[in-house]
Amino acid sequence: MNLLIIFLTGLTTGGLACLAVQGGLLASVIANQKEQEHENISADKKSKKARKKEKYLKSIQQKNFTLKSFDKLDWMPVMMFLGTKLVSHTILGFLLGLLGSAITLSLGVRLGFQVFTAIFMFATAMNLLDAHPIFRHLAFQPPKFLQRLIRGTSKSQALFAPAMLGLMTVFIPCGVTQAMEVLAINTGNPFQGALIMFFFVLGTTPLFAILGVATAKLSEGWYQKFTKFAAGVLVIMAIYSVNGVLLVTDSPITINKLISPITYIFSDERFEDALSAKTVNGAQQVTIDILDRGYSPNYIKVKRGVPVELTLQSNGVYSCALAFVFKEFGINTFLKSVDTQSFTFTPDKPGKYTFTCSMGMYTGTMEVI
């Protein structure tokens, strides 16, 4: 187990993947807090404390966007988010290592979480755009009894939402996080599992810190533009997540199939001879390499009625591609970072069948002729 590689994975591909899934939510929480601060000030103009707060907000908006202008009021919500996220994922890694493969979630449960995440991202985007008051109920806010306890301390209330979001990110994993969770499960050791998740999440923190503080420091004009941008990104990610579920379930309607006439120009499907399976001892031999960027080859041709021996192999991979799903032929497996697994099946019906990672991020096609 190389913790340095795991940390660097979080710092690079993991950070980008998690930022795409969770970054908009963090930005929306901080943006909502800024909006709430302005509303509180407007509702209590006579308060001396409110006038001071309003003066402070105006002063930071007039500052240049430089590192010198960052203060603890900007850093604290972000640090609360990152701190609780690190703690929750470390505990998760401990439990995954403790329980081993017994805790592996079924494909249906994982897809259910993905659909829930997509709905939540879409609703959050609508909340940012003030599309309808109903979407405000999805913002992270303290429960009523906690609001009464912390009503006198606005700082505590401001830190509650990002802290809760950090804890909840265990239920909103990106593809690379899922790969790390599988790695933690495969250790069968609670302390190793905890270390894996700790160093991975630690690696993702710089990008989240930059996003969170940048959101807090935006001037009013840029804040409005960023809000619309963040909402747009969340809608795109929600559609992307739903499309991933459709791909995993081999739905006849997916975005990939709708745009296939365009993607065909750049796909491996054009190179027919190089991707045809070879027959050895009466069975068609197919080997798929699991890579950090997906599957190679990602377009394969096999003959109907002839057994297929499918071999999956990975070598130092840390990505969602390790969770391999081929619904048509009943394959749903997790590979270790360095692993080889084989499956045998006989395709009976001609057609094109999709294999994917468990989130639909990486895909490939097997054509039966």
> What is the predicted pLDDT for the residue at 346?
95
d(CA 21, CA 169): 10
β-pair type (283-291, 363-368): unpaired
**Would you state the pLDDT for residue 164?**
82
Last residue of a domain, one of 202, 218, 248: 248
Do residues 120 and 186 both lie within one domain? Answer: yes
- Mean pLDDT, the chain, rounded, equals 75
pLDDT at 146: 44
Residue 261: which region, alpha, beta or left (left: phi > 0; alpha: psi -120 to 50)? alpha
Q: Which of 208, 225, 248 is the last residue of a domain?
A: 248
Same domain, 118 and 214: yes
pLDDT digits (tens, 9 = 90+) for 201-223: 999 888 888 877 776 665 555 66
Question: What is the distance of C-alpha 157 from the center of its chain?
Answer: 27
Residue 265 sits in the same domain as residue 205? no
Whether residues 195 and 294 share a domain: the answer is no
Residue 200, domain extent: 3-248
> Is the confidence at residue 70, as pLDDT, over 50?
no
**Closest among 234, 174, 241, 238 to 24, alpha carbons compared:** 234
CA torsion through residues 49, 34, 139, 141, sign: negative
The rounded distance, in Å, linking the Cα atoms of 185 and 125 is 34
- Tell which of 226, 248, 270 closes a domain: 248
CATH number at residue 261: 2.60.40.420
Instruction: List, in sequence order, every beta strand (DSSP E) within the chain.
Output: 278-280, 283-291, 294-296, 299-302, 308-315, 323-326, 331-334, 338-345, 351-357, 363-368
- For tokens 């057994």, what's the residue? 307
Q: Which residues pair with 295 in a beta bridge?
A: 290
- Same domain assignment for residues 164 and 310: no
Per DSSP, 276 falls in state B
Same domain, 81 and 174: yes
Inter-residue contact 320 to 175 (CB < 8 Å): yes
Lowest mean pLDDT among 88-97, 147-156, 231-240, 300-309: 147-156
Same domain, 238 and 143: yes
Q: For 104-117, what is the mean pLDDT?
A: 74
pLDDT band, very low/low/confident/very high, at 80 (cuts 50, 70, 90)? confident
Assess whether the previous peptide bond of 297 is cis (omega < 30° from 0): yes
Assigned token pair, 155: 């700082």
Burial class of residue 31 (count of CB atoms within 10 Å of its CB; 0-12, 13-18, 19+): buried
Same-domain status, 141 and 263: no
Nearest to 32 by CA among 116, 136, 134, 185: 136
Average pLDDT, stretch 160-187? 77
pLDDT by residue (tens digit) across 28-42? 666 666 655 555 555
Query: Does residue 317 have a pLDDT over 70?
Result: yes
pLDDT of residue 153: 42
The pTM score is 0.59
Q: Are residues 118 and 267 in the same domain?
A: no
Tokens of 353: 């069948």
Mean pLDDT of 353-361: 85
Q: How many domains does the chain have?
A: 2
User: What integer is the mean pLDDT of 133-151?
Assistant: 56
